[in-house]
Structure 1
């Protein structure tokens, strides 16, 4: 694990074991007792390194984000804020999708020890403000983008691992023609996510343009 935290080898092994179990069991079934069993140690050995499950989840979130965002940087002068945000938000989503229920783990994390999440937020503000966007608009675009990604990934992963209701019985009643049309279009998750993100970015660009127009009058 490449990280911004001081993690010893035993802590790293616990985090990796926890992530393996997360993939096997999911968020709701993850327990410190099972992690200890997987490592062939007693439960108190886990508590020596992580005082509770919540703390371990924070470190798991940092591990997940580091996989894709470990070396990311603020926007370069030649790069538009739109391109920077699109690229890095997609990395953000990719990181969470790399583990079962990764969206729930990262969305519930604290900014410390999940410092990469804090870094992502800071770099987003730097990248947007350096393009001429005011801090209030930049904050709104950043928060909306991140929360949209959290919600999308959590829903995406929930659908993947849950037992769905028989949709055909509901939709084929003829009472939901627009939903049926959406089903027929059948966009991939990647396409649908990118379209939603584009709407946020276009909105941010529009707000930025309107403020610039007002200032020049």
Structure 2
């Protein structure tokens, strides 16, 4: 089989869904491709180099879904769409959050989408620094949020037994931890709602900062 970087990355993403990030190795990927490991090392010198390309592919795929459904003058809608678009794409891949976390992008295609969103913030009156800090905050929060979300649900609808809410509450004394006992359903069951609420808090902070 004649392989190229795109085929390798696409196959790696498929293998990721099958075995997860911990088990993903260049040797297992070579076996999936039906090639010898040295051939794969000619394209990628390390697992991290491969992950960088995988992360780039995931974010580039998200690039077309980062604008609000009805673009307008409301810059907050652009910020929310930016975060939600990234989260949706990360969730399409097993360990998607962990793949992207700390990775280095290997091309500028995602930056092109981010530039368009940043332009909306500048046009709305945010300073360059405010726009950059806001977008980077939403970006890093989203990745961390998805990492935690995928720890609870490694696959859609498949809850890890380590996050059983009833068992969690049994370990927490009701008299000593009344708030934490009520936190389980919020933290481990309502990810869509909590994500929106969290980003709204970030946006309101940015709005207050921009008005000063």
Asked if Structure 1 and Structure 2 have the same fold, meaning a TM-score greater than 0.5 normalized by the shorter chain, the answer is yes
CA displacement at 1:73 relative to structure 2:
6.5
Structure 1: unaligned runs, 5 residues or longer: 1-7, 211-217
TM-score normalized by structure 1? 0.82
TM-score normalized with structure 2 length: 0.84
1:201 to 200, 203, 209: 203
Per the TM alignment, residue 173 of structure 1 is displaced from its structure 2 partner at its CA by: 4.8
Deviates most, 88-97 or 177-186: 177-186
Aligned to 2:51: 57
Residue 99 of structure 2 aligns with which residue? 105
Q: Deviations over 1:107-132 (max 9, x none)?
A: 2221333x344334433432211211
**Further displaced range: 118-127 or 46-55:** 118-127
1:46-84 per-position Cα deviation (integer Å, ceiling 9, x unaligned): 11222222121111112212323247569x983311011
How many residues align? The count is 201
Contact 2:186 2:194 in 1 (8 A): no
Contact 2:138 2:199 in 1 (8 A): yes
Deviations 1:131-187 (A, max 9, x none): 111112222211211111011001111222355164133125542100122235676
How large is the RMSD of aligned CA atoms in angstroms?
2.5
More deviation, 58-67/89-98: 58-67
SS of the residue 2:139 aligns to:
helix
Q: Give the Cα separation in 1 of the matches to 2:171 and 2:136.
A: 35
User: Which residue in the other structure is 2:184 paired with?
Assistant: 183
CA contact (8 A) 1:67 1:95 kept: yes
8 Å Cα contact 1:111-1:118 kept in structure 2: no
